[in-house]
Structure 1
């Protein structure tokens, strides 16, 4: 297997693996001042995983590539569960909240356009949970978003 490596990157051009990823530089502006809601609103970051696995990514694959200890709780969730809290407009939303929903919808559209389907979502840990939304960009590289939610 390839080495397990995660990189946070805001701009990349992965011509060495045969794909054009300059679109990733467009992701960064969407992530500025964008927070994922939970008991503690947390920032969202772009991640890339250099892995050599075919889609779909399994829980075991993710555990291996993240170097997680066996006792760590990892569960796959539907990708829509990732988007639902940030793309749903509530009756009480003001202009700022509506603008943030629009920003999340634009981010979602950008990822769905450039990341090969299907995207997958995972929750890692308990209480302070890392949430990953990832999808294949090539045979050897996956990309997506990472954030944290607090659930007590």
Structure 2
């Protein structure tokens, strides 16, 4: 007979993923014209996450512009080590590479939703094993 604690509940799995995302993103700032931290996001399982549904969940106006990106495209600059990087910058690149790895290992159907034009709310969202939506949000400024 299996012990009851050998199975994780959906809530426990989601809490675990949230903890891993918080740990991986702790202290990282996403660089744009402003440097913003990441926040862990979680929404209970629903139908497919469409741009319209995301706008509703995040309380943006229904006509707000939404652009979809891949996770690799969104994090491309942050995860690319350059020859001119100093040791601290190389360490930051490694932390961003780890963050992308944690996202990919724990969430399927990963997408990045960029909401807005100049002041952009970015939502890096995927589906947990339990069917919930989870990920990270951050803010960008692009003029």
Please give the secondary structure, in 2, of the residue aligned with 1:20: helix
CA RMSD of aligned residues (A): 2.0
Query: How far apart, CA to CA, are the structure 2 residues paired with 1:31 and 1:93?
Result: 20
TM-score, normalization: structure 2?
0.83
Q: Verify the 8 A CA contact 1:19 1:138 in the aligned structure 2.
A: no
Match of 1:20 among 13, 37, 53: 13
Alignment partner, residue 100 of structure 1: 92
Which blocks of at least 5 consecutive residues in structure 1 are unaligned? 1-13
Which blocks of at least 5 consecutive residues in structure 2 are unaligned? 1-7
Q: Flag the 1:19–1:26 CA change in 2: closer, same or farther, 3 A.
A: closer
Q: Verify the 8 A CA contact 1:76 1:123 in the aligned structure 2.
A: yes
Pairwise CA distance, 1:50: 2.0
Alignment partner, residue 131 of structure 1: 122
Q: Verify the 8 A CA contact 2:110 2:124 in the aligned structure 1.
A: yes
Query: How far apart, CA to CA, are the structure 1 residues paired with 2:126 and 2:11?
Result: 17
TM-score, normalization: structure 1?
0.79
Larger CA Rg, structure 1 vs 2: 2
Query: How far apart, CA to CA, are the structure 2 residues paired with 1:35 and 1:137?
Result: 24
